[in-house]
Amino acid sequence: MKILYKALSKRGILDDYYVSDHFYRIEFQQRGAPHVHSLLWLKDQEGNSPPSYDGSTESRDECIQFIDKVISGKLQQNDSDLDENVRFFQSHAHTFTCRKKCNKIIIKPDEGHGKYDGVNRGPQLTMNSCRFKFPKFPVRKTTIVDAPDSMMSNDIKKCWKDNYLKIRRFILRQTYCEHRSEPNEDFLNLTFDEFLDAVGVSEEEYMNALRMSVAANRSGCEVFLKRDCRDVFINNYNPNVLKVHQANMDLSFILNEYACVAYILGYLTKNESGLSRLLHQIEVESAKYGRSTDEKMKLFSRALDNSREVSRPEVVYRMLGLHFCSSTRTHAFVQTGHPHK
Ligand SMILES: [Zn+2]
């Protein structure tokens, strides 16, 4: 990781920008390999930060221009070596982790056919929704999509929502693979215009429908990277970083402070759920057996001391004394009170 971050701190990899500050934390899935959650602060050669989005058209255009320079969600199609790496490292395949806290989706026989909904019929499909939002939506060009305005009439919202469900079901049916060994080439080869025609919506209706997928109660807007139908399972990446660091990555441009805080709380400082369950169990049992606070605290401290699920890679990682966190900024506590107080 040190070598990668050193490379990122030099100009050239992230277009005109370099990483001026970073924070990262290594996390281990329960039995899995380590992965990194990281925040990167960039600067250009004059020391300017990348543009930030304030809702204005100007800032929107600047952000999109920047995003297109450093983040891609597409196969490149003019660089076969890179595309091989993109297919190998950046193609999303659903696993059990996709299903955490996600609902089942049922697509009825007459749904998922786009403009032929209600006319064509196919098998009823039951699938798990993917919490990483794959397959992604094809988009003609990189766009910042705002959540629907809360003042908007319910009729319009309903119309957008219906279109959203129609589009989503179409993409899900076309990319559904359980009974098919090969992905649906006809779908993957559609151009964006052919895709819109197949779904049976105009581009304006399509972009409005996407607004319904942006949760209004979160940061209020979301970046949709330029993608064709063949790219709906490609995870966000930077081509130059993939060339020097051949591993899966998922890059996001942080649109506003809310998104940044949500990321820090959601990923960088994530608790260890295995342990929380254990503490909860102690709490429940203590209430059941009428344990005193003293006894309960002893059990808590023992649990915190002794119990934690650790994967083999993590044991090796810890024994080698490798770092779990790295940051270009640090803080030190300075005692400013009188020593006798
Ligand atoms: Zn998935």
- The mean pLDDT value for 90-95 works out to 88
Residues 175 and 294 in one domain: no
Enclosing domain of residue 309: 273-324
pLDDT at 237: 95
Return the pLDDT at 337: 85
226 lies in the same domain as 280: no
Quick one: pLDDT at residue 211? 93
Q: Are residues 317 and 212 part of one domain?
A: no
Q: Are residues 125 and 215 in the same domain?
A: yes
305 pLDDT higher than 80: no
Q: How far is the CA of 103 from the centre of ligand 1 (A)?
A: 12
How many angstroms is it from 229 CA to the middle of ligand 1? 17
What pLDDT score was predicted for residue 162? 94
Residue 23 falls inside a structural domain: no
Question: Which alpha helices (H) appear in 146-184, and where do they start and end?
Answer: 154-175
Is residue 204 located within the same domain as residue 99? yes
pLDDT of 93: 86
Q: Per-residue pLDDT for 276 more than 80?
A: no
CA 127 to ligand 1 center in whole angstroms? 11
Q: Are 210 and 145 in contact (CB under 8 A)?
A: yes
**With 90 as the cut, is the pLDDT of residue 101 above it?**
no
Mean pLDDT computed over 170-183: 78
- 229 and 96 in a single domain? The answer is yes
Tens digit of pLDDT for each residue in 52-68? 888 899 999 999 999 99
On whether residue 267 sits in a domain, the answer given is no
- Please state the rounded mean pLDDT for residues 83-102: 84
Confidence of residue 2 (pLDDT cuts 50, 70, 90): confident
Q: Cα(290) to centroid of ligand 1, in Å? A: 44
Co-location of 206 and 277 in the same domain: no
Q: Are residues 148 and 277 in the same domain?
A: no
Distance from C-alpha of 201 to C-alpha of 55, rounded to nearest angstrom? 27
Q: Band of the pLDDT at 274, cuts 50, 70, 90?
A: low
Judge whether 71 lies within some domain: no
211, 139 in Cβ contact below 8 A? no
Both 105 and 188 in one domain: the answer is yes
Number of folded domains that form the chain: 2
| Cα of 212 from ligand 1 centre, angstroms | 20
Provide the sign of the torsion angle of the four alpha carbons 310, 316, 321, 324, taken in this order. negative
| Dihedrals phi, psi of 323, to nearest 5 degrees | -75, 145
Q: Note the pLDDT of residue 272.
A: 57
What backbone phi and psi angles, to 5 degrees, belong to 225? -75, 150
Residue 84 burial class via C-beta count within 10 angstroms: exposed 0-12, middle 13-18, buried 19 and up? exposed
Which pairing describes strands 34-43 and 104-107: parallel, antiparallel, or unpaired? unpaired
Ligand 1: distance of its center to the CA of 129 in Å?
Answer: 8
Residues 105, 219, single domain; the answer is yes
* pLDDT score of 15 more than 90: no
Distance, CA of 27 to CA of 20 (rounded, Å): 23
CA of 295 to the centre of ligand 1 (A): 44
Please give the average per-residue pLDDT across 200-209, as a whole number: 95
- Give the per-residue SS3 of 199-249: HCCCHHHHHHHHHCCCCCCCCCEEEECCECHHHCCECCECHHHHHHCCCCC
Q: Are residues 105 and 229 in the same domain?
A: yes
**pTM of this prediction exceeds 0.85:** no
How far, in Å, is the centroid of ligand 1 from the Cα of 133? 7
Distance 46 CA to ligand 1 centre (A): 40
